[in-house]
């Protein structure tokens, strides 16, 4: 196998304006020699982030982007509120720079006030924080990353990328009891919604790539907002609207592992004036998926907050139709986060039609599940993970929908391990690629949690979950057992596992007719240039 079989060439990114693919002398569009660790659950990520930020010294650099930031969200116990931790870092002389989505109004259940208050806390310590509304109408900045650089101590450099915001609801653990600092979502999840999520901790040369993503946005010369109302709010709240210069970028950290990492983004085709670093937008998240799906032969494993958009899911369906041995497992929220009489059908219509597309293509080879904790409360799946044939893995902020692939800003990393995994089956796809430890271990880590299985004492011992068919059957068996237990009213011992078979609720013809145009315009808009829409290309 060659990395180019799975990863995008610079020319395939479709955005020659970015500095990402010009950073290395050989113009390779990915970095090698990285060490990548998955941090499953917000509590795991927050504990590591807290230790890393508190270890920063004067002159070190902390850069972060976010969709929502709650200053009172605790990384651990009292005194670890994110606003406090970042303010204290700035007071120690750490260079703290934040870019957070300006957000729509709180009256529409968004986070304008929370994002502004986090900025006030950071600026009180001497840091800099910008509320960024450089998006398409109705769009968001959805990237979630933290970059920590240490002049003179490059061995400590790290970047965190994934789906976890620095906000309420995210600080949950494997027990899925929910976050004490909670934001209400659909009633089914209760007052403290259980939350399943994942972030990557990346060390090595890829840290420089992720820092470059931040720097491109920070130095964008366009005003933070073109909306007259937003400009008025900036004046009234005395917001900082000018990005001060960043310190010169340090050399990339030295290689330290066996993981090739490709940084992927979505930027929309922005109306009137595009981004200097992506004048026509960028859709490398979508393009990376399309390339990887062409090699899928055995198992696509997905965890996704949405999994909707028939136009997007069609590429998964094509892989299923072309390869009769290919299976797909998807873990999604049992209930959308919004459950109002209008918002629920708007959120369901894209998923219902997408799952119909998948099942027409794959039939019984497609299995979709929700999660619940051991108390029977649904777990909100916010993770954005894809593993294909235990070779290619992607984790980021992007969901499987048009909004994430074309309309909002997104940041993801695909990981390709340079070593092969000796466990059977050694080559699940039969293409000679060989299973790779990072992708396989990530899938197994998630599967064992959902199945309530312990990791084998001998890591080289045979494991039925390594086999795509064995894993597919294990998920089906566990979900059937738990479904049956619930159908019996919970009599007898609760079977192991947290998987429930996903059964989408029915939508009436009237609901479909009303919800479809609202879904397309509000929930899942298309941010591609017209020529790409007409060609149905990304």
Sign of CA dihedral 150, 151, 154, 155: negative
If asked whether residues 517 and 389 sit together in one domain, one would say yes
Domain count, the chain: 2
- CATH code where residue 229 lies: 3.30.870.10
- Determine the structural domain holding residue 501 and report its residue range: 282-535
- pLDDT of amino acid 114: 74
- pLDDT of amino acid 109: 46
- pLDDT of amino acid 107: 41
Per-residue pLDDT tens over the stretch 123-155? 999 999 999 999 999 999 999 999 999 999 999
If asked whether residues 291 and 164 sit together in one domain, one would say no
Helix (H) or strand (E) holding 290: helix 284-293
If asked whether residues 219 and 290 sit together in one domain, one would say no
- Local structure of residue 155 (DSSP, 8 states): G
Residue 151 included in any domain: yes
Residue 1 included in any domain: no
- pLDDT of amino acid 449: 98
If asked whether residues 202 and 305 sit together in one domain, one would say no
- Is residue 532 a contact partner of residue 513, using CB atoms and an 8 Å limit? no
- pLDDT of amino acid 444: 98
- Is residue 82 a contact partner of residue 118, using CB atoms and an 8 Å limit? yes
User: What region does 434 belong to: left with phi over 0, alpha with psi -120 to 50, or beta?
Assistant: left
Q: Residue 88: how many CA atoms within 13 Å on its side-chain side?
A: 13
Cis peptide before 416 (omega within 30 of 0): no
Residue 185 included in any domain: yes
Q: What are phi and psi of 100, to 5 degrees?
A: -125, 145
If asked whether residues 213 and 362 sit together in one domain, one would say no
Residue 79 included in any domain: yes
3-state SS class at 172: coil
Cα 175 to chain centroid, rounded: 21
Residue 46 included in any domain: yes
Boundary (domain end) residue, out of 204, 220, 255: 255
Residue 3 included in any domain: no
Residue 314 included in any domain: yes
13/30 Cα distance (integer angstroms): 11
Q: Which of 505, 501, 426 is nearest to 460 (CA)?
A: 426
Per-residue pLDDT tens over the stretch 233-288? 666 666 777 899 999 999 999 999 999 999 999 999 997 778 999 999 999 999 99
Torsion from C-alpha of 337, 339, 340, 341, nearest 10 degrees: 140
Residue 157 Cα distances to 35, 65, 146, 150, 211, angstroms: 11, 17, 11, 6, 11
Q: Which of 104, 102, 85, 106 is nearest to 94 (CA)?
A: 85
Q: Which residues of 93-119 are buried (b: 16+ CB within 10 A; e: fewer)?
A: ebbbbbbbbbbeeeeeebbbebbbbbb
If asked whether residues 232 and 356 sit together in one domain, one would say no
- pLDDT of amino acid 238: 67
- Is residue 171 a contact partner of residue 75, using CB atoms and an 8 Å limit? yes
Residue appearing with tokens 């003179």: 152
Sign of CA dihedral 510, 400, 332, 424: positive
Class of residue 457 by CB neighbours under 10 A (exposed 0-12, middle 13-18, buried 19+): exposed
If asked whether residues 220 and 341 sit together in one domain, one would say no
If asked whether residues 317 and 447 sit together in one domain, one would say yes
Residues in the chain predicted with pLDDT less than 70, given as ranges, are: 104-112, 227-238, 459-460
Q: Which of 169, 195, 182, 175 is nearest to 375 (CA)?
A: 175
If asked whether residues 122 and 230 sit together in one domain, one would say yes
Helix (H) or strand (E) holding 241: none
- Is residue 303 a contact partner of residue 398, using CB atoms and an 8 Å limit? no
Long-range contact list for 106-112, CB < 8 A, 24+ apart?
Answer: 109/338, 111/67, 111/68, 111/69, 111/70, 111/167
pTM: 0.96
455/445 Cα distance (integer angstroms): 8
Class of residue 454 by CB neighbours under 10 A (exposed 0-12, middle 13-18, buried 19+): exposed
Residue 223 included in any domain: yes
Residue 530 Cα distances to 288, 401, 518, angstroms: 21, 18, 20
If asked whether residues 288 and 363 sit together in one domain, one would say yes
Q: Which residues of 185-217 are buried (b: 16+ CB within 10 A; e: fewer)?
A: bbeebbebbbbbbbbbbbbbbbbbbbbbbbbbb
74/53 Cα distance (integer angstroms): 14
- Is residue 62 a contact partner of residue 56, using CB atoms and an 8 Å limit? yes
If asked whether residues 402 and 306 sit together in one domain, one would say yes
Torsion from C-alpha of 490, 494, 497, 499, nearest 10 degrees: 0
If asked whether residues 424 and 489 sit together in one domain, one would say yes
């Amino acid at each position: 196998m060659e990395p180019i079989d799975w990863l995008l060439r610079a020319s395939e990114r479709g955005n020659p304006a970015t500095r990402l693919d010009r950073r290395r002398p050989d113009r390779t569009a990915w970095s090698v020699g990285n060490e990548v660790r998955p941090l499953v659950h917000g509590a795991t990520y927050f504990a590591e982030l807290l230790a890393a930020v508190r270890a920063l010294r004067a002159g070190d650099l902390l850069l972060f982007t976010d969709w929502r930031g709650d200053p009172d969200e605790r990384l651990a116990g009292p005194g670890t509120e994110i606003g406090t931790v970042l303010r204290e870092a700035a007071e120690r002389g750490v260079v703290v720079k934040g870019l957070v989505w300006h957000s729509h109004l709180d009256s529409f259940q968004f986070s304008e006030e929370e994002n502004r208050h986090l900025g006030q806390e950071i600026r009180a310590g001497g840091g800099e924080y910008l509320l960024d509304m450089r998006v398409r109408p109705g769009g968001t900045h959805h990237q979630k990353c933290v970059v920590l650089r240490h002049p003179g101590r490059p061995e400590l450099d790290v970047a965190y990328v994934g789906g976890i915001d620095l906000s309420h609801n995210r600080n949950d653990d494997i027990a899925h009891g929910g976050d004490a600092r909670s934001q209400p979502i659909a009633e089914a999840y209760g007052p403290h919604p259980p939350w399943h999520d994942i972030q990557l901790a990346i060390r090595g040369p890829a840290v420089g790539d992720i820092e470059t993503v931040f720097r491109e946005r920070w130095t964008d010369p366009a005003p933070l907002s073109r909306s007259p109302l937003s400009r008025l709010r900036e004046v009234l709240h005395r917001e900082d609207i000018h990005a001060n210069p960043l310190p010169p970028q340090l050399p990339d950290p030295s290689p330290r592992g066996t993981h090739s990492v490709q940084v992927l983004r979505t930027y929309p085709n922005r109306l009137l004036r595009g981004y200097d670093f992506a004048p026509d937008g960028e859709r490398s998240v979508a393009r990376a998926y399309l390339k990887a799906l062409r090699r899928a032969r055995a198992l696509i494993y997905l965890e996704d907050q949405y999994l909707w958009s028939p136009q997007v899911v069609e590429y998964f369906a094509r892989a299923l139709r072309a390869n009769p041995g290919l299976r797909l497992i998807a873990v999604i929220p049992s209930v959308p986060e919004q459950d109002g009489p209008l918002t629920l059908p708007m959120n369901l219509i894209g998923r219902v039609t997408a799952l119909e597309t998948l099942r027409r293509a794959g039939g019984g080879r497609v299995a979709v599940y929700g999660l619940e904790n051991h108390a029977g409360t649904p777990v909100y799946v916010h993770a954005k993970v894809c593993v294909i044939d235990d070779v290619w893995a992607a984790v980021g902020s992007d969901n499987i929908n048009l909004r994430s692939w074309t309309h909002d800003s997104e940041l993801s990393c695909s990981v390709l391990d340079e070593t092969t995994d000796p466990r059977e089956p050694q080559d699940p796809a039969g293409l000679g690629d060989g299973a790779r430890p990072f992708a396989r271990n990530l899938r197994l880590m998630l599967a064992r949690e959902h199945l309530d299985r312990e990791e084998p004492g001998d890591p080289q011992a045979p494991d039925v979950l390594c086999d795509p068919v064995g894993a597919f059957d294990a998920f089906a068996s566990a979900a059937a057992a738990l479904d049956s237990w619930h159908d019996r009213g919970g009599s007898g011992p609760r079977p192991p596992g947290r998987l429930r078979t996903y059964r989408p609720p029915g939508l009436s013809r009237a609901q479909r007719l009303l919800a479809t145009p609202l879904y397309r315009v509000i929930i899942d808009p298309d941010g591609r240039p017209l020529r790409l829409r007409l060609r149905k290309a990304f």
